[in-house]
A = this chain, B = another copy of it.
Amino acid sequence: MTTTIQTIEQEVLRIGKQAKEAAHALSRLGEEEKNRILLSMADEIDARKDDLQTANSSDLTAGREAGLSAALLDRLELTDARVRSMSDGIREIVTLPDPVGDVLRAWARPNGLEIEKVRVPIGVIGIIYESRPNVTADAAALCFKASNAVILRGGKEARHSNHAIAETLKEGGSRAGLPTHAVQLIGTTDRDAVRVLVQMTDFVDIIIPRGGEGLIRAVAEMSHVPVIKHYKGVCHTYVDASADLDMALIVCENAKVQRPGVCNAMETMLVHEAVAKDFLPRISERLLSQGVELRGDKASRRIVPQMNPAVDEDWEEEYLDLILAVRVVPDIDAAIEHINTFGSHHSDAIVAGENTVQDAFCRQVDSATVYVNASTRFTDGAEFGMGAEIGISTDKLHARGPMGLEELTTYKFVINGDGQIKQ
């Protein structure tokens, strides 16, 4: 059966309209009610484990037939542990404080008007993601806890799993009072559905894409709705002349090798020329022995000949692998300029002893997260103590860095008077 573009458009617009209505219903729910609904969702996931795994088998079978890589098939699979971690994830969200209704600031004016800046839900959030089906539960629960309606659009490889998870959330939730259409999944896997979703500005307030750079760029380019995103993490560590080199050694090693395939791993190391001769041989020995390929500029290679030559493209590359670009810089200004020019404004670190150097780095490096004497690997909602995160933003507006529940809210001004009029 083929679906026409018109049908898809009508279907997605209908989902959008329903979400907007649900957002209004959600604005009436209090924290207790929301937590009860979330717990009911979590219980339903546990109760329906077998159904979820049956649906997941269909995806795995189709994936194997379509020749998906072992890595992709692994991400797709809903093991017992992963089902359990979905329901536990929801229970953890229950324990997080509800940001809605928080008074961010309150003040009175000379005419007696009382102004409050109050946290409120954003409204309708569209989440576009790739192969991991657990995102369906995580994203829905986070959006709901902040009183937002959510429209989910998962990858087609996980379509049976996503459908089963979404239905489970809805049934568990409804039993405890989840407003109709507060959680919706776009059923069709047609690509036109994404276009309609990101362009229906009347119904959708924000789009959060989660996945590879290709997906995110495609969404950002098509979207008329504001998109919060990060394309990639080209993270740096700069080792200053004033650094404690023993500390630099463990910080750089950790940032590169502890988990190289993630966005907050270090991709480029910059070293002040005054300590390069001392530091580079030591760090290189450590990294080479762990299978890291080093790609150095000329000055680095003069000191460590085992390095391969770095080409221009290396400075902008997100390897997500055991590869590190290395450059010797004459001073902190050159380090900052390198990071601001070639980096992705995600997470960048300095190892330095001098305060003025640390301060200049923190002030002038234009990134969501800047570290002094610590590994870049800490950029993560849980590590920040924010609880679950919906993603990381390298944008500058609204949210920057790890995004948790608070970042799924906006604010309004509520003003109380007793008949004030403008003179």
Contacts and interface: CB of A to CB of B under 8 A. Distances in A.
Nearest to A384: B115
A422 B364 contact: no
Nearest to A226: B397
Q: Among the interface residues A118, A122, A370, A412, which one has the most CB atoms of the partner chain B within 10 A? A: A412
A335 B419 CA distance: 20
Contacts of A113: 374, 378
Interface string A135-168: 0000000000000000000000000000000000
A400 B416 CA distance: 18
Contacts of A51: none
Interface stretch (A243-251, A270-278, A280-288): A243-251
A410 to B, nearest CB: 4
21 contacts: A24-B364, A27-B366, A107-B385, A115-B384, A115-B385, A122-B397, A205-B396, A226-B397, A228-B397, A247-B418, A250-B419, A258-B422, A369-B415, A371-B416, A371-B417, A373-B416, A374-B415, A374-B419, A379-B413, A397-B410, A400-B410
B413 A384 contact: yes
Contacts of A253: 421
A300 interface: no
B410 A396 contact: yes
Q: Give this chain's copy count.
A: 2
A254 interface: yes
A389 to B, nearest CB: 13
Nearest to A365: B412
Given A244-B419, A251-B421, A374-B113, A398 B401 contact: no
A396 B254 contact: no
Nearest to A422: B377
Contacts of A123: 366, 396
A46 interface: no
Interface in A345-388: 358, 360, 362-364, 366-375, 377-379, 383-385
Contacts of A370: 412-415
A355 B255 CA distance: 55
Nearest to A227: B226
Contacts of A401: 412-413
Interface string A99-119: 000000001010001010010
A342 to B, nearest CB: 13
Nearest to A377: B422
A141 to B, nearest CB: 21
Contacts of A413: 368-370, 379, 384, 400-401
A385 B415 contact: no
A114 to B, nearest CB: 9
Contact of A258 (B395, B400, B421): B421
Contact of A362 (B367, B371, B414): B414
A28 interface: yes
Closest 5 CB pairs of A and B: A374-B417, A254-B421, A377-B422, A397-B398, A247-B419
A263 interface: no
Nearest to A419: B247
Contacts of A255: 421
Contacts of A379: 413
A422 B368 contact: no
B109 A385 contact: yes
A420 interface: yes
A400 B398 CA distance: 11
Given A375-B422, A383-B109, A411 B417 contact: no
A422 B347 CA distance: 14
Nearest to A363: B27
Contacts of A415: 369-372, 374, 378
A363 B115 CA distance: 15
A250 B228 CA distance: 43
Q: Among the interface residues A120, A395, A422, which one has the most CB atoms of the partner chain B within 10 A? A: A422
A338 to B, nearest CB: 13
A390 interface: no
